[in-house]
Amino acid sequence: MTPRIDTTPLVGEALNALRAATGLEGKAKPVPTGAREFVVAVKHKGTTWRFDATVRPWLTQAELGILKVEYAGRPALRRLLITRLVTPDHADQLRKMGLPFIDTHGNAFFDEKGLHVFVVGKGKGGGAGVPRGTLIQPGALKVLFAILCNPGLEGGTHQAIRDATGVGIGTINRLLQALEAERFLLKFKGGGRELHGKKELITTWTTAYPLRLRPKLLLGRFKAANDNWWREEEPVTYGAQWGGETGGYFLTNYLKLQNVTLYVDKMPTELIIKQRLHADPNGEIEILKRFWDFRLDLPRPDTVPPLLVYADLMATRDDRNIETATRIYETHIARFVGKT
C-alpha cells in the first residue's frame, strides 16, 4: 500500500496563477499510476501543448538535483514541474535544464515553438519553500533517518527509537503520529507498526536535511597543507566517519574530491594536530557532529550510512556529485525501499 497524497489542489492553484500572470489557460488530468503525476494541457492562440507534469510541493536544491537526474534520463518527454514557489535562483537553474515549470505565485517558464514564457520573482520568500511540518523538524529528521536506515525500527518501542537517536520521547511520538496521519505508517491491532512509502520519505528527508538539520551540525571548517591527507587516515580511530564527497569516493571509487567531510562524536583534536589542519571558514574540510547513535553493518565502517552520503551529494550543484549519488542510491539504498 503506497500512500496517496492529494496534490490536485496545488495543481489547480498553480494553473490559476498561470492564467492570472500570463493569460494562458491550462487543464490538468491526474495519471492513475502516480499520486503526483498529471497530464497538463496548456492552450494559447488556438494551439495546445501537452506536458507530462510532476508535482514537487517543496522545491529545494536537493530536489533540483533529483529532478536533474530524472530529466536527463527522459529527455524526449515534454516535462513540466509544478510546485509552490520557484525562487529566482531555482528558476534560472530550471531554465538552463530546459525544464518548464509553473508555481502557485505565477512564476512560469515555457520554451516551446510558439510558447515562450519566463516569469520570475513573484511571491515572497527567497528561501527554499520547505513546509514547517512535523516531518522536517530537526529532531524529527533525526528519528526519520534512524527509521529509514534500520528497517523495522518503526515497530520498536519508543525507548528503542530513543536509544538509536538520542531524541526525546515527545518528538518521537509526534513524528510517529504524523507518519500515521499521512499514511506512511500502518498500525496493526496487535500494536505493531510498519513503514510504507519509503521512496517518498527518502525524498522528503534528502530534501529537508541540508536545510533544516545539517547547518546545526557544523563544528568547523579547516584547510590542510597536504591535499591527500585523508588517504592516510582511518577516521574510526578518532570516532569519526567520512561523509559527503569523501564518503562518495569510498563507496563508489568514482568521485574526484574537492571537499572532505567528517562526521564525528567530538572534535578530533588529535587528527587536527597530526595532519596540521588549520581553521578556515572557507576551508575545503568540514567537520560535523554525528546525530545518530546506532551502528549498522555498513559497506565500509569508515563511511556514514549511504543515505547520508546520498543526501550530502544531492545537496550540491555538482553534476559529478549527483551522478555519484545516483550510483549510491541504486547500489546501497534502493534495496531498502522495496515495494513500499
Report the interhelical angle of 244-252 vs 319-328 (nearest 10°). Answer: 60
Rounded (10°) CA dihedral 152, 156, 161, 163: -110
**CB contact set of 6 (below 8 Å; sequence gap of 6+):** 35
Predicted confidence pLDDT, tens digits, the chain (340 residues): 333 445 677 899 999 999 999 999 999 998 866 556 899 999 988 899 999 998 887 777 777 888 888 777 665 578 899 988 888 888 989 998 889 999 999 999 999 888 999 999 887 543 344 344 678 889 999 999 999 999 999 999 999 999 999 999 999 999 998 888 777 888 887 778 899 888 888 988 998 899 889 999 999 999 998 989 999 899 999 999 999 999 999 999 888 889 999 999 999 999 999 999 999 999 999 999 999 999 888 878 999 999 999 999 998 878 899 999 999 999 999 877 754 4
pLDDT in tens, 164-184: 999 999 999 999 988 887 778
Report the SS3 class of residue 218: strand
Residue found under cell 522528503: 204
Residue found under cell 510504507: 196
pLDDT in tens, 104-157: 999 999 998 889 999 998 875 433 443 446 788 899 999 999 999 999 999 999
Of the candidates 332, 148, 146, the one whose C-alpha atom is nearest the C-alpha of residue 247 is: 332
The one-letter code for the residue type at 184 is F
Q: How far apart are CA 65 and CA 315, in angstroms?
A: 7
Report the SS3 class of residue 87: coil
Query: Model-level pTM greater than 0.85?
Result: no
The one-letter code for the residue type at 259 is N
Q: How far apart are CA 82 and CA 204, in angstroms?
A: 16
| Cell digits of residue 265 | 562524536
| Cell digits of residue 219 | 563544528
